[in-house]
Structure 1
Amino acid sequence: MTSDAVPGTSEPFDPADVTWTPVSRRLIGARLTVTAIWLTPVLLLTVLLAVLVGGAWLWVFPALVVVLGAWIAWVVRRQVGAIAYAERADDLLVRRGIVFRSLVVVPYGRMQYVDVNAGPLARRFGIASVQLHTASPATSASIDGLPPREAARLRDRMASRGEARLAGL
């Protein structure tokens, strides 16, 4: 029996000797707020339709909206729990996903610039996003749900590591 495993790794989405840093759980509240902003008008319209028309069967639609909201809340909690990043000597790892998992490895020497973003809702929840840009769009990565201080620290660290790696070329 042959093994295609790379020495030193336990599986593709969880390399050995990597300490993962999870994102802030406040990202759950931000994503659920966006969900509520979209689903509340739909719920109100379906309830209004059921009341005005008077058909008992029309109450199925508001119930479906509530079930959809509960399912989204469950999925968002799991999705946010699956997002993490790890800084290594030569690259940054970003993993996400439950069903469709992904692991992005961004070499510091390939980074062109690093953005930190926080819209009004993100600022309200005390979180920010770090966007890493490389020469190839396929290796660019984003980390949502970071506390602002951690986002600024990560931005500065990634920028300095990227410059150091480029200077060594």
Structure 2
Amino acid sequence: MDTGTGPERAAPEWSGLPRGLLTVRRLLLVFWLGALALAAGVLLGVLAGPGWAAVALLPLALLGWGWVLLGRNWRSWRYAERADDLLISRGVLWREETVVPYGRMQLVEVTSGPLERRFGLASLQLHTAAAATDARIPGLEPREAERLRDRLTELGEARSAGL
């Protein structure tokens, strides 16, 4: 029986992000919180006494908590290419799903900073007519980022030419 809601869409085929992104984020966490713990321990130990140096354990506790949260956040990122749009989903407590129609894309760029290049990663940035629908996919493998850029640009040109 037809309910009048149109043809059912197949479930999108989701792709996750490479593990290298998680590695980079965890290395940054260890570097910054480790440096903070060391500096706090040394400074407080010298200036206020050895008992106060225990305050340096706080950044180490944050490091453990952050380690777990980064893993959960990394697992929450995913994207899917559909016939008319690109879906980007992320978030652990607050899920956010962005739908970017191909015909609305104005610019697709691939960026890679020094740390991303060192770990073989790149980010894809999508700019649309409305700034509110701009989207970003971080930590992709460079080949995948370039493939997506080329495909999205091609689909965007085809969709906007039909307007």
Report the TM-score, using the length of structure 2 for normalisation. 0.90
Answering whether residue 68 of structure 2 is matched by residue 109 of structure 1, we say: no
Matched residue SS, 2:22: helix
Partner of 1:109, secondary structure, is helix
Residue aligned with 1:68, SS: helix
| Pairs aligned (count) | 156
> Partner residue of 2:69?
75
Q: Residue 65 of structure 1 is aligned with which of 48, 56, 59?
A: 59
Match of 1:54 in 2: 49
Deviations 1:65-103 (A, max 9, x none): 101011111101110111000000000000000012100
Offset at residue 168 of structure 1 (A) = 0.7
Q: Look up the match of 2:21.
A: 27
How far apart are 1:42 and its partner, in Å? 1.1
User: CA offset at residue 45 of structure 1?
Assistant: 1.3
Matches within 5 A, 1:1-169: 17-52=11-46, 53-56=48-51, 58-169=52-163
Distance in 1 between residues matched to 2:24 and 2:126, nearest whole Å: 22
Query: 1:10-48, CA deviations, whole angstroms, 9 ceiling, x for partnerless residues?
Result: xxxxxx611110011110111112223322321111110
**Residue segments in structure 1 that go unaligned for 5+ positions in a row:** 1-6, 10-15
2:4 is matched with which residue? none
* Partner SS state of residue 19, structure 1: coil
For residues 8 and 53 of structure 2, the distance between their equivalents in structure 1, rounded to whole angstroms, comes to 56
Q: Which amino acid aligns with 1:151?
A: A
Matched AA of 1:160: E
- Cα distance in 2, alignment partners of residues 159 and 21 from structure 1: 19
Gaps of 5+ in 2: 1-6
Query: How large is the RMSD of aligned CA atoms in angstroms?
Result: 1.6
Structure 1 segments (4+ residues) deviating >3 Å: none
TM-score (norm. length: structure 1): 0.87
Structure 2 counterpart of 1:133, one-letter code: H
Alignment check: 8 A CA contact 2:42 2:53 kept = no
